[in-house]
Chain A
Amino acid sequence: MNREFDYSVVDGIIDGNGRKISSVISILQDIQEHYRYLPREIFPYLADAVAVSEARIYSVATFYENFSLEPKGLYVVKVCDGTACHVRRSIPILNRLRSDLGLSERKVTTDDLLFTLETVSCLGACGLAPVLTVNDKVYPAVTPDKASQLVKSLREEATHAAA
Chain B
Amino acid sequence: MNREFMLIDGLPAPLQGEKNLLELIRKAGISLPTFCYYSELSVYGACRMCMVENEWGDLEAACSTPPKAGMKVRTNTARLRAYRRMILELLLADHCRDCTTCPKNDSCRLQELAVRFGIERVRFPNTAEAPDIDDSSPCIRRDKNKCILCGDCVRMCSEIQNVGAVDFAYRGSKMTISTAFDVPLAESGCVGCGQCAAVCPTGALGVKDDTRRLWEAVSDPQVKVVVQIAPAVRVAVGRELGLAEPENCMGRIVAALRRMGIDEIFDTSVGADLTVLEEAGELLSTLKKGSDLPLFTSCCPAWVAYCEKSHPELMRAVSTCRSPMQMFASLIKEHGKRSGRKVFHAAIMPCTAKKFEAARPEFRHGGAPAVDCVITTQELIRMIRESGLVFAELEPEAVDMPFGTVTGAGLIFGVTGGVTEAVIRCVSADKTPGALRAAAYTGIRGMSGSKEALVRVGDRDVKIAVVSGLAHAEELIGRIGAGEKYDFVEVMACPGGCVNGGGQPLASAFDREERGDLLYNADRMSSIKRSEENPLMMTLYNGLLKGKVHDLLHVHYRTENTGVSHA
> Are A58 and B167 also in contact (CB < 8 A) when A40-B181, A43-B180, A53-B189 are?
yes
Q: Chain A residues with Cβ under 8 A from B166's Cβ?
A: 55
Mark interface residues in A121-154 (1 if CB within 8 Å of B CB, else 0).
Answer: 0000000000000000000000000000000000
Q: Which residue of B lies closest to A57 (CB)?
A: B180
> Are A59 and B165 also in contact (CB < 8 A) when A43-B180, A53-B189 are?
no
A5 at the interface (CB under 8 A from B): no
Q: Which of A38-80 contact B (CB under 8 A)?
A: 40, 43-44, 47, 52-59, 62-63, 69
Mark interface residues in B145-188 (1 if CB within 8 Å of A CB, else 0).
Answer: 00000000000001000011111111100000011110000001
Bound CA–CA A57/B166 (angstroms): 11
> Are A52 and B181 also in contact (CB < 8 A) when A62-B170, A63-B170 are?
no
Among B158, B169, B188, the one with the most A-chain Cβ atoms within 10 Å of its Cβ is: B169
Q: Which residue of B lies closest to A43 (CB)?
A: B180
Q: Point out the residue from B158, B163, B169, B171 that lies within 8 Å of A58, measured CB to CB.
A: B169
Minimum C-beta distance from B309 to chain A (A)? 11
Q: Which residue of B lies closest to A54 (CB)?
A: B180
Minimum C-beta distance from B185 to chain A (A)? 11
Q: Chain A residues with Cβ under 8 A from B164's Cβ?
A: 52-56
Contact B171 A53 (CB under 8 A): no
Q: Point out the residue from B158, B163, B169 that lies within 8 Å of A62, measured CB to CB.
A: B169
Bound CA–CA A54/B165 (angstroms): 8
Bound CA–CA A13/B181 (angstroms): 22
Bound CA–CA A53/B180 (angstroms): 9
Q: Chain A residues with Cβ under 8 A from B165's Cβ?
A: 53, 55
Q: Which of B305-351 contact A (CB under 8 A)?
A: none
Minimum C-beta distance from A51 to chain B (A)? 10
Q: Which residue of B lies closest to A64 (CB)?
A: B171
Contact B168 A59 (CB under 8 A): yes
Bound CA–CA A47/B165 (angstroms): 12
Contact A54 B189 (CB under 8 A): yes
Contact A55 B179 (CB under 8 A): yes
Minimum C-beta distance from B153 to chain A (A)? 11
Q: Chain B residues with Cβ under 8 A from A58's Cβ?
A: 167, 169, 178-181
Bound CA–CA A57/B189 (angstroms): 14
The B interface, classified by DSSP as helix, strand, loop or mixed, is loop
Minimum C-beta distance from A6 to chain B (A)? 21
Mark interface residues in B90-105 (1 if CB within 8 Å of A CB, else 0).
Answer: 0000000000000000
Minimum C-beta distance from B159 to chain A (A)? 11
Q: Chain B residues with Cβ under 8 A from A47's Cβ?
A: 180
> Are A55 and B167 also in contact (CB < 8 A) when A40-B181, A43-B181 are?
yes
Contact B167 A59 (CB under 8 A): yes
Q: Chain A residues with Cβ under 8 A from B179's Cβ?
A: 55, 58
Q: Point out the residue from A43, A53, A63 that lies within 8 Å of B163, measured CB to CB.
A: A53
Bound CA–CA A114/B498 (angstroms): 56
Q: Chain A residues with Cβ under 8 A from B163's Cβ?
A: 53
> Are A53 and B169 also in contact (CB < 8 A) when A43-B181, A58-B178, A58-B181 are?
no
Q: Which of B367-401 contact A (CB under 8 A)?
A: none
Minimum C-beta distance from B481 to chain A (A)? 13
Among A44, A56, A59, the one with the most B-chain Cβ atoms within 10 Å of its Cβ is: A59
Q: Chain B residues with Cβ under 8 A from A54's Cβ?
A: 164, 180, 189
Bound CA–CA A54/B163 (angstroms): 10
Bound CA–CA A63/B178 (angstroms): 12
Bound CA–CA A53/B157 (angstroms): 10
Bound CA–CA A40/B183 (angstroms): 12
Contact B158 A53 (CB under 8 A): yes
Bound CA–CA A54/B178 (angstroms): 11
Bound CA–CA A108/B371 (angstroms): 51
Q: Chain B residues with Cβ under 8 A from A55's Cβ?
A: 164-167, 169, 178-180, 188-189
Bound CA–CA A53/B177 (angstroms): 14
Q: Which residue of A lies closest to B158 (CB)?
A: A53
Q: Chain A residues with Cβ under 8 A from B188's Cβ?
A: 55
Bound CA–CA A44/B169 (angstroms): 16
Bound CA–CA A56/B189 (angstroms): 12
Bound CA–CA A56/B169 (angstroms): 8
Among A47, A53, A55, the one with the most B-chain Cβ atoms within 10 Å of its Cβ is: A55
Contact A56 B167 (CB under 8 A): yes
Q: Which residue of B lies closest to A59 (CB)?
A: B167
Q: Chain A residues with Cβ under 8 A from B189's Cβ?
A: 53-55
Minimum C-beta distance from B193 to chain A (A)? 15
Bound CA–CA A111/B84 (angstroms): 49
Minimum C-beta distance from A21 to chain B (A)? 12
Q: Which residue of A lies closest to B174 (CB)?
A: A62
Q: Chain B residues with Cβ under 8 A from A59's Cβ?
A: 167-169, 178
Q: Which residue of A lies closest to B163 (CB)?
A: A53
Q: Chain A residues with Cβ under 8 A from B170's Cβ?
A: 62-63
- Chain A residues within CB distance 8 Å of chain B: 40, 43-44, 47, 52-59, 62-63, 69
Enumerate the 8 nearest inter-chain pairs by beta-carbon distance, A residue then B residue, closest first.
A53-B164, A55-B167, A54-B180, A58-B180, A59-B167, A62-B169, A55-B180, A62-B170
What are 26 contact pairs spanning A and B, CB under 8 A? A40-B181, A47-B180, A53-B163, A53-B165, A53-B167, A54-B164, A54-B180, A54-B189, A55-B164, A55-B165, A55-B167, A55-B178, A55-B179, A55-B188, A55-B189, A56-B158, A58-B167, A58-B179, A58-B181, A59-B168, A59-B178, A62-B169, A62-B170, A62-B178, A63-B168, A63-B171
6 additional A-B residue pairs with CB within 8 Å, beyond A58-B169, A59-B169: A47-B180, A53-B167, A54-B164, A56-B158, A63-B171, A69-B181
